[in-house]
Structure 1
Amino acid sequence: MKIDEFNKALDRGEISPLYYFHGDEPHLMERAVKRLMDSAVPPDFRDFNLDVFYGNECKGDEVASVAQTLPMFADRRMVLVKRAGDLSAAALEILASCVADPPPTTCLVFMGEKVDQRKKFFQEMKKKGELVECKRPYENQLGAFIREEAKGLGKRVEPAAAEMLVYLVGNNLGELSTQLEKVALYVGQRETISVEDVRGIVSDTKVESVFDLTNALGERNVVKALRSLATILRDGEAPLMLLAMIARHFRQLWRVRDLMAQKVPQQDISRLAGINPYFIKGVMAQARNFSASELKKVFEGLYATDLALKGGGAKRPTLTLEKLVMDVCGMGSR
C-alpha cells in the first residue's frame, strides 16, 4: 500500500487492526502515524488507550500482552512500536502469532525502515494487515508537496519560489516543511510566497551553500566552488547527498545543452527540461560552458566519485570531492 492509498482509506474511515509503516521518508511516516492516531484514538482517552514501545527496548510478549488488552472508555486501543527494525528475532516470532490473529479492538502499528517478507512476521502482516510504504518522492512530485504544505499554512507559493525551495533544500520533506513554515511566518499576512521570500529566509541555512556550489561548478569557478564545498562539509552535509545534488544539476545542464543544440526556443527549453523560467537563463549560460564530450567526462567523474565515497574514499570525503570539483572546473583548460 502506498501512502496516498493509506490516506484515501483513512478518509473513508477504514482503519485496519494492523499496520507496518516502512520506507526512507520519516517525515511522511511520522505524519501518517499521527493521522492514524488522531482517527483511531480520541485525544481525551489516550492516557488509557495508547501504548508506545521501542523495538530496541521491548520484548515481544510485552507488546502482545498490551495488544490483547481491551480499550477503556473507547472503541479502540492503539499500540505503537517505533524502531520496529530493532525487534529481536525472538520478539518477531512471538509477535507473528499475535499478527496472525489480531485483536479486533486494537490497532497495532509498527514503524521501521525495511520489510523482509521472508520472515513469518511479515508474511502474516501482509495477510492480515497493511504494509504502508513511505517512499521519498521524486523531484517532479515535490512541487505538489510544497503547494499542499503552503495551502495548509494559508499561503500560495509562486512556481519559481517552490523551485527555489527545492534547489536550496533538496528532497528532504521534513526540512522542506520546516523551511516553508519559516517563510510563511516571514511573509506575515501576505498570501503569496515569492522567490525573494524564499531566498531571504532559506539563504541562512547550510543548503544555500549547495546551491552556490552547483552554480560555481556550472560556471567553472574553481575558487568559489572549493570555498562552497568547504563550507558544506564543515556544516556536516552527507557527502553522498551532496554528490546527488551535483549530479542533478549536471543532468539539467546536459538536457538544456541538448535542447539548445536543437535550436529550441528558450521558453520551450524551460518547459521541456522542467526548469522554472526564473532560472532558465542562468542554466543556459552554464550549459554553454561545457561541450557534449566534457559533460560525458563530468558524469564519468561523478560515477568514479560515487564509487570512491562508498569505498575507501568514505574515509577522506573532502579530498575525494575536491578532486571532483577541480576536474569539473579545469576540464576545459588547454
Structure 2
Amino acid sequence: MKPEEFNKAVEKGELAALYLLYGDEPYLVERAVKKLLDRAVDPGFRDFNLDVFYGNECKGEEVFGAAQTLPMFADRRVVLVKKGGDLSAHAMEVLLPYLHDPSPGTCLILQAEKVDGRKKFYADFKKRGEAVEFKRPYENQLGPYVRDEVRAAGKKIEPAAADLLAYLVGNNLQELVSQIEKLCVYCGKKEIVAVADVKAIVSDTKVESVFEFTDALGSKDLSRALKMLTALLQDGEVPLRMLGAVARHFRQLWQVRELLDRKVPQSELAKASGINPYFLNKVTVQARNYTAGELKRVFERMVELDLAFKSGGLEGPLFERFVMEACRR
C-alpha cells in the first residue's frame, strides 16, 4: 500500500487489522501512526483501548495477550509496537500465529525504521496486513511536498517560494513542517505565500546561514566560506547537517556543469536540470567556477569527510581543510 492510499483509506475509516508502518523518514512514519490512532481510538477511551510496547524490550506473550483483549466501551482497541523491527526471535515466533487469525476488534500496528523482510514474521505481516513504507523525499520532491503542506493549511504558495524554502531547509521534514507552520502564521489572512515571506521567516534561523555558507563555497569565496563555517560551528550547527546541505548544492552545480559541457542552450537549462529558474542563474554562474573533474574531487572529499565525522574525527579542522580544497582556484 502506498502512503497516499493509506491516507485515503484511513480518512474513509477503512481500517485493517494489521499495519506495518516503516521507512527511513521518521517524521512521516510518526505522523502516519498518529493519523491511524486518531481514527481508530476514541480519545476519551484511549486509556482503556490503547496498549504501547517497544519491540526491543517487550515479550511476545504481552503483545499477543493485549491484541486478544476485547475493547472497552468502543468497537476497536489498538496495540502499537514501536521499534517493531527489533522484535526478538522468540517474540516473533509467539506472534506469528496471531497474524493468521487476528482479532477483528483489534488494530495491531508495528512501527519501525526498517524491517528484515527475509524473516517469515515480517514477510507474513506484509502478506496478511497493510505494509506502508515512508521514504525520505528526493530533492526534486520537496517543492511539491511544501506546496501540499501549505495547501493543507488553507493557503497557496508561489512555486519559487516553495523551492526556496525546500532549498534552505533541506529534507529534514520536521524542520520543514515547522517552518511552513511559521509561514502560515506570519502570512495571516494573506492567501498566497511569496518569496519575500519565506525570506522573512528563515532570516532568523540557522538554515539561512547554511544557505550563505553553501553559496560562498559555490562562489569559491574562501574568506567568506571560512567565516561562515566558524560562525555556524560556534552557533552549534551540526556538521553532518551542514555537509548534507553542501552535498545538495554541489549536486546541482555538477548537474548544470554537465549540461553546460554538453552545450545545452541556456534557454533549456531550467527544464533539463529541473532547477527552479529563481535559482538557476546563480547556480549556472557558480557551476562555471568548477570543471567536472574538480566537482568529482569535491564529492570524493565529502565522502571522506562524512566517514571522518561518523568515526569521531575533529570536525572543525577537517571541515576547514575541505573548504580550502573546495575553494582552491
Task: Output the TM-score relative to the length of structure 2.
Answer: 0.91
Q: What is the deviation of 1:57? A: 4.8
Between 69-78 and 144-153, report the one with greater CA deviation. Answer: 69-78
Take 2:174 and 2:142, find their aligned partners in 1: how far apart are those partners? 12
Take 1:188 and 1:32, find their aligned partners in 2: how far apart are those partners? 28
Name the structure 1 match of 2:126: 126
In the alignment, residue 293 of structure 1 is paired with which amino acid?
G
Take 2:164 and 2:94, find their aligned partners in 1: how far apart are those partners? 49
Q: Does 2:73 align with 1:103?
A: no
For residues 190 and 81 of structure 1, do their structure 2 counterparts lie closer, same or farther at Cα, with a shift above 3 Å needed? same
For residues 62 and 293 of structure 1, do their structure 2 counterparts lie closer, same or farther at Cα, with a shift above 3 Å needed? closer
- 1:1-334 map, 5 Å: 1-11=1-11, 13-262=13-262, 264-311=264-311, 314-330=312-328, 332=329
Q: What is the deviation of 1:264? A: 4.2
For residues 100 and 227 of structure 1, do their structure 2 counterparts lie closer, same or farther at Cα, with a shift above 3 Å needed? farther
1:210-266 alpha-carbon deviations (Å, 9 max, x no partner): 211110001111122122223333444443443232122112112223334555454
Contact map agreement 1:267 1:277 (CA 8 A) in 2: no
Take 1:17 and 1:292, find their aligned partners in 2: how far apart are those partners? 53
For residues 200 and 85 of structure 1, do their structure 2 counterparts lie closer, same or farther at Cα, with a shift above 3 Å needed? same
In the alignment, residue 136 of structure 1 is paired with which amino acid?
R
Take 1:265 and 1:252, find their aligned partners in 2: how far apart are those partners? 17
For residues 152 and 8 of structure 1, do their structure 2 counterparts lie closer, same or farther at Cα, with a shift above 3 Å needed? closer
Q: What is the deviation of 1:136? A: 0.6
In the alignment, residue 40 of structure 2 is paired with which amino acid?
A
Q: What is the deviation of 1:307? A: 4.0
Take 1:57 and 1:158, find their aligned partners in 2: how far apart are those partners? 47
Take 2:237 and 2:64, find their aligned partners in 1: how far apart are those partners? 40
Take 1:78 and 1:319, find their aligned partners in 2: how far apart are those partners? 51
Take 1:93 and 1:233, find their aligned partners in 2: how far apart are those partners? 48
Take 1:295 and 1:116, find their aligned partners in 2: how far apart are those partners? 37
| SS class of match (2:14) | coil
Take 2:237 and 2:89, find their aligned partners in 1: how far apart are those partners? 34
In the alignment, residue 317 of structure 1 is paired with which amino acid?
E
Between 155-164 and 40-49, report the one with greater CA deviation. Answer: 40-49
Q: Which sections of structure 2, spanning at least 5 residues, go unmatched?
A: none
Q: Which sections of structure 1, spanning at least 5 residues, go unmatched?
A: none
Q: What is the deviation of 1:181? A: 0.4
Number of aligned residue pairs: give it.
329
| SS class of match (1:315) | coil
Take 1:296 and 1:47, find their aligned partners in 2: how far apart are those partners? 56
In the alignment, residue 202 of structure 1 is paired with which amino acid?
V
Contact map agreement 1:53 1:81 (CA 8 A) in 2: yes
In the alignment, residue 193 of structure 1 is paired with which amino acid?
V
Between 2-11 and 72-81, report the one with greater CA deviation. Answer: 2-11
In the alignment, residue 317 of structure 2 is paired with which amino acid?
L
1:251-303 alpha-carbon deviations (Å, 9 max, x no partner): 21122233345554544222222222222222122122223332233233233
Contact map agreement 2:79 2:107 (CA 8 A) in 1: yes
For residues 301 and 12 of structure 1, do their structure 2 counterparts lie closer, same or farther at Cα, with a shift above 3 Å needed? same
Take 1:203 and 1:2, find their aligned partners in 2: how far apart are those partners? 36
In the alignment, residue 329 of structure 1 is paired with which amino acid?
C
In the alignment, residue 131 of structure 2 is paired with which amino acid?
L
In the alignment, residue 319 of structure 1 is paired with which amino acid?
P
Q: What is the deviation of 1:111? A: 0.9
Contact map agreement 1:27 1:173 (CA 8 A) in 2: yes
Q: What is the deviation of 1:71? A: 1.4
For residues 253 and 130 of structure 1, do their structure 2 counterparts lie closer, same or farther at Cα, with a shift above 3 Å needed? same
Aligned-residue CA RMSD (Å) = 2.2
Take 2:153 and 2:286, find their aligned partners in 1: how far apart are those partners? 36
